[in-house]
Structure 1
């Protein structure tokens, strides 16, 4: 089973990203996924908030995520079942 580690990082000079974690071992192979929020011309904070909300959702227990997704699916199902005539 894979464990997940969520870290927010800043891009360093030279377009580098540095990740440090005491739970990682030297020489260990890890997978890295980088999520870059879309630039929002009105406010950079809005993009960061959206990313924070997504990360918060991913940190929820799987049962809670399934409950939320099921609720959203039920709402959108009604929309798609509407007769468009």
Structure 2
């Protein structure tokens, strides 16, 4: 037969002690904290998406403004005047 496991003995000892006092409003405080975390995370994600869209728009505008103008196709070659 195997001797009792030390960890199992520790768990049994902890479970046999009286349970600690839990504040009555603990669930409400935890729920409010969770809502705050979710709201903050949602705002951060929205700001990051806005930053990404602004960067893309800025890149497109910059590319359009800096794009070289195409040369007209119907020009005549320069005439040599020698």
TM-score in terms of structure 1 length: 0.27
The structure having more radius of gyration, on CA atoms, is: 2
Bigger RCO (CA 8 Å, 6+ sep): 1
Instruction: Give the helix-richer structure, 1 or 2.
Output: 2
